[in-house]
Chains A and B, each alone.
Chain A
Amino acid sequence: MVKEASEMGSTNSSSKAWHVVYKIIKIWNVMIIEAVPDVHHNTKTLFLLQKKSDVYSVEDLWDKRSRKTDIGDEEEKYKDLKGNKKKKAEDLKKEVELDDHKLSASELEEKYGTSVNKGLSSARAAEILARDGPNSLTPPKATPEIVKFLKQMVGGFSILLWIGAVFSWISFGIQLAQGAESPFDNLYLGVVLALVVILTGIFAYYQEAKSTNIMASFSKMIPQQALVIRDAEKKELPADQLVVGDIVEIKGGDRIPADIRLIFTQGCKVDNSSLTGESEPQSRSCDFTHENPLETRNIAFYSTTCVEGTATGIVINTGDRTVIGRIASLTSGVGNEKTPIAIEIEHFVYLVAGVAISIGVLFFIISVSMRYKILDSIIFLIGIIVANVPEGLLATVTVSLSLTAKRMAKKNCLVKNLEAVETLGSTSIICSDKTGTLTQNRMTVAHLWFDNQIYSADTSEDQTTQPFDQSSPSWTALSKIVTLCNRAEFRPGQENLPIMKRVVVGDASETALLKFAEVILGDVMSIRARNRKVAEIPFNSTNKFQLSIHETDDPNDKRFLLVMKGAPERILERCSTIMINGKEEPLDSEKAEAFQTAYMELGGLGERVLGFCHLYLPEDEFPDTYPFDTDSMNFPTSNLCFVGLLSMIDPPRSTVPDAVSKCRSAGIKVIMVTGDHPITAKAIAKSVGIISATSETVEDIAKRLNIPVEQVNRREATAAVVNGMELKDMSLQQLDEILCNHSEIVFARTSPQQKLIIVEGCQRQGAVVAVTGDGVNDSPALKKADIGIAMGIAGSDAAKNAADMVLLDDNFASIVTGVEEGRLIFDNLKKTIAYTLTKNIAELCPFLIYIIASIPMPIGTITILFIDLGTDIIPSVALAYEKAESDIMNRRPRNKRKDRLVNEQLAVYSYLQIGIMQSVGAFITYFTVYAEQGFLPSTLLGVRVDWENNAINDFEDSYGQQWTKYQRMYLQWTGYTAFFVSITIQQVADLIIRKTRRNSIFQQGLFRNKVIWVGIFSQIGIALILTYGLGHVTALNFTPLRFQYWFVAVPFAILIWVYDEVRKLFIRRYPGSWWDKNMYY
Chain B
Amino acid sequence: MLRTGERFSNQNVFGFYMCCVAVLQVRVQYWPSQDIAVELNSSNQRKDHQEAHSGQQTSQFAESSTFIKILLFYVIFYGCLAGIFIGTIQVMLLTVSEFEPKYQDRVAPPGLTQIPQVQKTEISFSASDPKSFEPYVKNLEKFLKDYSADQQTESIVFQDCGDIPTDYKERGPYNDAQGQKKVCKFKREWLENCSGINDPTFGYKDGKPCILVKLNRIIGFKPKAPVNESLPPEVMAKYNPYLIPVHCAAKREEDADKIGTVEYYGMGGYAGFALQYYPYYGKLLQPRYLQPLVAVQFTNLTYDMEVRVECRAYGQNIQYSDKDRFQGRFDIKFDIKSS
Contacts and interface: CB of A to CB of B under 8 A. Distances in A.
Asked whether A and B interact, the reply is yes
Interface of A: 181, 347, 350-351, 354-355, 358-359, 362-363, 764, 766, 841, 844-845, 848-849, 852-853, 897, 904, 907-908, 911-913, 916-917, 919-920, 923-924, 927-928, 931-934, 936-938, 940-941, 950-954, 956-967, 970-971, 974, 1034, 1042, 1051, 1055, 1074, 1078
Nearest to B35: A904
Given A358-B26, A920-B81, A937 B12 contact: yes
B164 to A, nearest CB: 26
Contact of B22 (A354, A848, A931, A934): A848
CB-CB nearest 6 A-B residue pairs: A960-B283, A966-B324, A964-B111, A962-B216, A938-B8, A934-B101
A702 B84 CA distance: 73
Contacts of A931: 92-93, 96, 102
Contacts of A362: 22, 26
B156 to A, nearest CB: 19
A974 B103 CA distance: 13
A965 B26 CA distance: 37
A912 B24 contact: yes
B75 interface: no
Contacts of B113: 953-954, 962, 964
Contacts of A961: 101, 104, 107, 216-219, 280, 282
A343 to B, nearest CB: 10
A952 B117 contact: yes
A954 B26 contact: no
A1034 B73 CA distance: 44
A432 B206 CA distance: 100
A913 B77 contact: yes
B45 interface: yes
Interface string B82-113: 00110011001100100111111011001101
Given A853-B12, A962-B111, A1074 B216 contact: no
Contact of B9 (A937, A951, A1074): A937
Contact of A960 (B84, B119, B282): B282
Contacts of B102: 931-933
B175 to A, nearest CB: 13
Contacts of B26: 354-355, 358-359, 362
Interface stretch (B13-21, B144-152, B231-239, B257-265): B13-21
A300 to B, nearest CB: 43
Nearest to B39: A897
Interface stretch (B241-249, B294-302, B306-314, B325-333): B325-333
Contact of A959 (B22, B45, B92, B100): B100
Contacts of B117: 951-952, 954
B219 A974 contact: no
B216 A954 contact: yes
7 contacts: A354-B30, A853-B12, A933-B101, A951-B117, A960-B284, A962-B216, A963-B111
Contacts of A181: 120
B325 A927 contact: no
B283 A849 contact: no
- Name the residue in A916, A927, A938 with the highest tally of chain B Cβ atoms < 10 Å from its Cβ: A938
A971 B324 CA distance: 13
Contacts of A950: 119-120
B252 interface: no
Contact of A971 (B74, B106, B325): B106
Given A923-B12, A924-B89, 19 more contacts: A347-B34, A841-B23, A848-B15, A849-B12, A849-B15, A853-B12, A904-B31, A920-B16, A920-B84, A923-B85, A932-B101, A936-B1, A938-B7, A953-B111, A954-B117, A962-B111, A963-B106, A963-B107, A1051-B88
Nearest to A362: B22
A934 B104 contact: yes
Contacts of B289: 960
A1055 B118 CA distance: 49
Interface of B: 1, 4-5, 7-9, 11-12, 15-16, 18-20, 22-24, 26-27, 29-31, 34, 38, 44-45, 48, 66, 69-70, 73-74, 77-78, 81, 84-85, 88-89, 92-93, 96, 99-104, 106-107, 110-111, 113, 117-121, 214, 216-219, 280, 282-284, 286, 289, 321, 323-327, 330
Contacts of B84: 920, 1055
A1047 to B, nearest CB: 13
A941 B8 contact: yes
Q: What DSSP secondary structure best describes chain B's contact surface?
A: helix
A971 B96 CA distance: 17
Nearest to B11: A941
B77 to A, nearest CB: 7
Nearest to A959: B282
B101 A962 contact: no
Contact of B78 (A852, A916, A1051): A916
A964 B92 contact: no
Nearest to B117: A951
A927 B117 CA distance: 29
A965 B283 contact: no
Contact of A962 (B29, B31, B218, B325): B218
Contact of A966 (B85, B283, B321): B321
Contact of A936 (B88, B96, B106): B96
A766 B46 CA distance: 12
A766 B45 contact: yes
A963 B77 CA distance: 39
A262 to B, nearest CB: 48
A1042 B101 CA distance: 15
Given A932-B102, A959-B219, A937 B89 contact: yes
- Name the residue in B7, B48, B81 with the highest tally of chain A Cβ atoms < 10 Å from its Cβ: B81
A156 B248 CA distance: 58
B38 A897 contact: yes
- Name the residue in B4, B15, B30, B321 with the highest tally of chain A Cβ atoms < 10 Å from its Cβ: B15
Contact of A924 (B15, B30, B85, B283): B85
B34 A351 contact: yes
A795 B104 CA distance: 74
Nearest to A1039: B106
B328 to A, nearest CB: 10
A959 B101 contact: yes
A958 B321 CA distance: 25
Given A933-B106, A936-B5, A953 B330 contact: yes
Nearest to B114: A953
Contacts of A350: 34
Contact of B92 (A928, A963, A971): A928
A956 B325 CA distance: 18
Nearest to A358: B26
B30 A933 contact: no
A924 B92 contact: yes
Nearest to A903: B31
A908 B27 contact: yes
Nearest to B84: A920
Contact of B216 (A844, A934, A964): A964
- Name the residue in B107, B111, B326 with the highest tally of chain A Cβ atoms < 10 Å from its Cβ: B107
Nearest to B286: A960
B44 A766 contact: yes
Nearest to A350: B34
Nearest to A970: B106
A951 B31 CA distance: 47
B104 A848 contact: no
Nearest to A960: B283
B44 A912 contact: no
Contacts of B118: 951
Contact of A911 (B23, B110, B216): B23
A911 B19 CA distance: 11
A961 B111 CA distance: 11
B109 to A, nearest CB: 10
Contacts of B104: 933-934, 961
Contact of B15 (A347, A852, A965): A852
B70 A1078 contact: yes
Given A934-B104, A937-B9, A951-B118, A849 B326 contact: no
